[in-house]
Structure 1
Amino acid sequence: MPTASPTILLLHGFAESREVWNDFTRPFPAHYRLLAPNLLGHGTHRELVPDFSMEAQARYVVQYLGRQHAAEPVLVVGHSMGGYVALALAERYPERVAGLALLNSTAYADTDEKRHNREKNIAFVERHGLAKFMESFVRPLFAPANRDRLPEALGLLEDIAKATPEATIAGALRAMAARPDRTAVLREAAYPVLLVAGKHDVAVPLADSIAQAALAPTASTLFLEGSGHQAYLEQPEATRRAVLALAAGVFGE
């Protein structure tokens, strides 16, 4: 039977795994049920993946919620690619969403330049290998001031990324490039929305996050001066407070 506990669903980003949430969620109040799946092809999910699209990922997450007998609707928290999956889930299954938090993510589709860069990254991995690619990919995701300040967090992401199968890297990059614009999800949201953005985010421009904040009538925002693309690792206290404030509002606490 579904559990009655208020449920927070956490969706990790590209070349990450459910492990990235461990420290972030450790101080969460015990009455929340926290669910953090490995997305398709990531972490311990090593089954053959024929479809890495955000829609396929969303279907997989809904099936995961069913297997976990999760009380619905749930608060969905998505980081980067996890945010793209969260938006696809909210578009297809709005009745399952009690609230939506996008951490360093965007409802906009990729620009032509971004799509081209994703294909360049795939070609680099094919020529030089995954380990070499991740040595130059992960570090710039942190704000310059945090790259030497947070060696354990940076090392965690590098280790997880280097263990991700190359087929997942290529499949997920192409799926992100092909995803559609989902700004309508924000405009039509009947539930609370939180947007968390970093000033030094090289993957999701701050200007995009500011523009999207005006789309959702139910949106609140957290713009972090000292963060890059990894807000939940770079400024975890502020990000955690914002997510928990959203949760309190969503679940009427």
Structure 2
Amino acid sequence: MENKTYSDTGSGPTLVFLHGFCESKQVWEAFTKPLQQQFRIIALDLPGHGANTGNSSNYSMEFMADDVKRQLDEMQVHQCVLVGHSMGGYVTMAFAEKYGSLLKGFCLFHSSALPDTEEKKENRNKTIAYVEQHGVDNFINPFIEPLFFKGNRARLKAEIELMKTIGKQTPQAAVTGALAAMRDRPDRTQVLQEVKCPVLFIFGKDDGAVPLEKALEQCHLPYNSLVHFLGDTGHMGMFERKTETQQTLQQFAETVFA
């Protein structure tokens, strides 16, 4: 079943995939195909991204989590594993705080429960100013490639181009709104400490967006956590280490739904 703001394929226990900043549900298309044999796979467009470009002027992680809940209610999903890439992981943390009883488990995929550092906040402000002055296309072109580990870029040219295409379709208001919302999101490490369900962390050892020391600062916090570190990988493990991350997610989901 296809809908503008979500894809819904496969059958079995439900895995819900949330994309990152300037992405859309499309980034999960090829990645989730093998998982459809065993699970119901839902990929959502977050507010302002992909086809979910209604009149949203609110891009806070809490609002996005409410929007995820609304879409899941429409699809009558009452239990799931939530997989959040990057900004989608920030939304996952907000969702876990508000609607934790719906989660059998969740995965922070190149993401974090920590807030932005002061330096990162300053960088967000500079990026907002740049996008307002120069537009989305000029921002996306140099933004995407560094998300991939340099040793993987030649091999993944097509994926990098796909990411640029998706990114350029994101409205300017959503780009600047999401940047401000990421900048202002709270520290949710307390949620990790209190969460009842298992948590899977997937980190790239060469991820500039979620550095290794930040990864190590939080992965021990949940009562029950599994951590997978990817060598020679930046911020885009679903492309850079596709089979490995598919298998890791599959094993995690099998365990929590057993």
Shorter-chain TM-score above 0.5: yes
Percent identity among equivalent residues?
Answer: 42
196-205 vs 208-217, which moves further: 208-217
2:247 is aligned with 1:247: no
1:152 is displaced (CA, Å) by 1.0
Deviation at 1:29, TM superposition (A): 4.2
Secondary structure of the residue aligned to 2:70 is helix
**Matched residue pairs, number?**
249
Task: Give the aligned partner of residue 192 of structure 2.
Answer: 186
Partner of 1:31: 38
Normalising by structure 2, we get a TM-score of: 0.94
Structure 2 equivalent of residue 227 of structure 1: 233
Match of residue 40, structure 1, among 24, 43, 47: 47
Deviation at 1:50, TM superposition (A): 2.2
Residue 35 of structure 2 aligns to a residue in which SS? coil
Inter-partner Cα distance in structure 2 for 1:138 and 1:58: 25
Q: Residues 190-248 of structure 1, C-alpha deviation per residue, up to 9 Å, x if partnerless?
A: 11110000011111111111221111121111101111011111101111111111100
CA distance in 2, matches of 1:136, 1:51: 26
Q: Give the residue type in structure 2 aligned to 1:129.
A: G
| 1:215 matches 2:221 | yes
Per the TM alignment, residue 45 of structure 1 is displaced from its structure 2 partner at its CA by: 1.2
Deviations 1:3-54 (A, max 9, x none): x931001000000000000111011142311111100010011211121000
1:8 and 1:95 mapped to 2: Cα distance? 15
Runs of 4+ in 1 over 4 A off after TM superposition: none
Instruction: Work out which of the residue numbers 183, 187, 190 in structure 2 matches 1:177.
Output: 183
Q: Deviations over 1:148-198 (max 9, x none)?
A: 210111111100001100000000000000100001121112111100000
Is residue 2:121 matched to residue 1:121?
Answer: no
Q: Name the SS of the counterpart of 2:44 in structure 1.
A: coil
Structure 1: unaligned runs, 5 residues or longer: none
Query: Which one of 21, 25, 28 corresponds to residue 21 of structure 1?
Result: 28
Cα offset for 1:65?
Answer: 0.2
Return the alpha-carbon distance in structure 2 between the equivalents of residues 119 and 86 of structure 1: 24
Alignment of 1:1-253 (within 5 A): 5-70=12-77, 72-252=78-258
Superposed CA RMSD in Å reads: 1.3
Unaligned stretches of 5+ in structure 2?
1-10
* TM-score, normalising length: structure 1: 0.96
How far apart are the structure 1 equivalents of 2:96 and 2:30?
A: 26
Q: Which amino acid aligns with 2:49?
A: H
